[in-house]
Structure 1
Amino acid sequence: MSATASTRRVDGILFDKDGTLFDFHATWSVWAHSVILDLAEGDAPLMQRIADAADYDLALRRFRPTSPIIAGTNREAAECLARAVLRRTVDEIETYLMQSAALAPLAPAVPLAPFLEGLALTGLRLGVMTNDTEHGARAHLGAAGVAGHFHFIAGFDSGHGAKPSPAPLLAFAHAMALDPARIAMVGDSTHDLMAGRAAGMQTIGVLTGPAQEADLAPLADVVFPDIGHIPGWLGA
C-alpha cells in the first residue's frame, strides 16, 4: 500500500547530487584523474602537485576522504587547484571545471528514473541541492534523463548559498511551501547532514560517497547503503 500524506514521514525530499544520486568514486574520482592530467599537460611532477593539493591518490585514482574538494563548491575546488597550477587563474580553472564536470561520466547510485517515478507517485515534492554549479546539476540530471522529476534544482551559485549553511535547504522548503520538519535531506557528506539538521529537517545519510557510516551516523536519523532504501523507510 502506498503511503498517504497523513501517514508518511515526509512531504518532500531534498537530495544532494554527487555521492548521493550518483556514486562518487565511479563518477568523480574517474573524472578527476582526467582533469589532473589535462591541467598538468602531461607534466608528471605537476600532476603530483595538483593531486597533492586535491588530496587525490594518483596510484589508486581515488579522492582521499580528507579531500577538500569532496564537499566543496566549484569555486573552492578551483581555489584549491590553483595553488598548484600557477599558470592559470582561479577564474580560468573555475570555468574549466564547470565545463568539464558537465561532461563527467555518470554512475547513478541506483536506476534513477524508476526510483524517482516511484517517489513521485506518492505525491512527494523532490529537489536537488548541490555544492556543484546549477549548470552542472542540470546537465547531469538531464544526461541521466531525470531532470523533469525534480521540482527544485539549485547549486551553490543559485543565490541561496552553499551547504553546510541551511539557507539553500530552507529555500527548497519555501519554494515548495513545506514545513522543514516534514522534509528529508539526503546526502553522503557531513556538510549535507549538518545543513539538514540546521534547517530543522530529517536527515538521511547514504554510503555512496567517500564518508563512512561512523562519519554520518551522529548527524543522521538513519544511514542507508544507498538511496534505494528510502522507499522502504517511507513505507511507500
Structure 2
Amino acid sequence: MHPLLDGTRLVAFDLDGTLVDSVPDLAAAVAPALDDLGLPPPGEVRVRDWVGNGSRVLMERALADALGGAPEPARLEAAHARFLVRYGEAPCARTRLYPGVSEALEPLARSGRRLVLVTNKPEAFIAPILRAVGIDHYFALCLGGDSLPRRKPDPLPLLHAAERFDVAPSRCLMVGDSRHDVAAGKAAGFRTLAVPYGYNHGEPVAASRPDAIVESLAELV
C-alpha cells in the first residue's frame, strides 16, 4: 500500500472530483435554475471550476457569472432553492466513478481501516449517489456540508470523524482533489493526499502542498 497509509486506521474521502465526476448532473441542474430567472446556462466547463464549496456557493458563482456581479440575497436564495429541486430530481443520472476508485476502496475496506466520506455537498444527496455508483457499503460515516455547523476547509468534520471512531488525527488520512480538502486535513492534523483530476477552481492542487499526489486512487493500494 501507499507509504502514507502506514499506521493509518481511518481514511476520509472527498466525494465530488475525488470519487465521482458529478459535474454533468450539477450543470444540468444549474441550467434550469438560472433559466427560471431568465438567465443563460453556463455550461459544464464553467461549472467544473465552481464546485467544491457546497451548493449555495455554486449557485452564487453561477449567478455572479451570469449577472456580471454579486447577486442580491433574495435572488440567490431563489436560485439555490430551484437548484436543489432540480438536482434532487436526478442527482446521479450522469455521475460516474473515476477510474481506480473501486480498485482502491475494496482492499482498503478489507484492510480493516475505517472509511468515511466528508463532502461539502448537502447530506441529502450523498446516499442516492453512493448507491447509484455502487460504493455505499464501504463507508462507516458520511458527512455533508450541512451535517455539522462548519464544513471544509474547516477541520471540524474531519475531527468529528476521528473522534467518532476514537482514532488519533495523526493516524488518519484525508484524500481529496482541492485546496479545501488539503487545508482541512492539515488543520485537523491528518495526513493529506490529493488527486489532480478533480475540481480545484482551475488551480493545480499541488500548489496546496499535500503530503502526496496520486494520478489514480488505485495507486493507494
The two structures have a TM-score, normalised by structure 1, of 0.76
Aligned with 1:34: secondary structure? helix
1:156 aligns with 2:149: no
Contact preservation (8 Å) 1:189, 1:216? no
In 2, Cα distance between equivalents of 1:117 and 1:186:
16
Percent sequence identity over aligned pairs: 27
Asked whether the equivalents of residues 25 and 87 of structure 2 are also in contact (C-alpha less than 8 Å), the reply is no
Greater alpha carbon shift after TM alignment, 211-220 vs 198-207: 211-220
User: Offset of 1:217 from its aligned partner?
Assistant: 4.7
CA distance in 2 between counterparts of 1:188 and 1:91 reads 24
6, 18, 27: which one pairs with 1:20?
18
1:39 pairs, out of 9, 33, 42, with 33
Contact 2:195 2:205 survives alignment (8 Å) = no
Counterpart pick for 2:156 among 167, 172, 190? 167
1:215 has 2:198 as partner? no
Change (3 A) 1:36 1:193: same
CA–CA separation in structure 1 for the residues paired with 2:160 and 2:149: 7
**Structure 1 Cα separation of the partners of residues 81 and 119 of structure 2:** 21
CA distance in 2: counterparts of 1:112 and 1:173, whole angstroms: 22
Which secondary structure does the structure 2 equivalent of 1:204 belong to? strand
Matches within 5 A, 1:88-127: 89-90=78-79, 92-96=81-85, 98-100=87-89, 102-110=91-99, 112-127=101-116
The CA distance in 1 between the partners of 2:103 and 2:217, in whole Å, is 12
Q: What stretches of structure 1 of length at least 5 have no aligned partner?
A: 52-57, 232-236
Query: C-alpha distance in 1, partners of 2:185/2:153?
Result: 8
What SS does the aligned partner of 2:20 have? coil
Give the distance between the partners of 1:135 and 1:172, measured in 2 at CA. Answer: 18
- In the alignment, the residues of structure 1 paired with residue 183 and residue 90 of structure 2 have an alpha-carbon distance, to the nearest angstrom, of 25
TM-score normalised over the length of structure 2 = 0.81
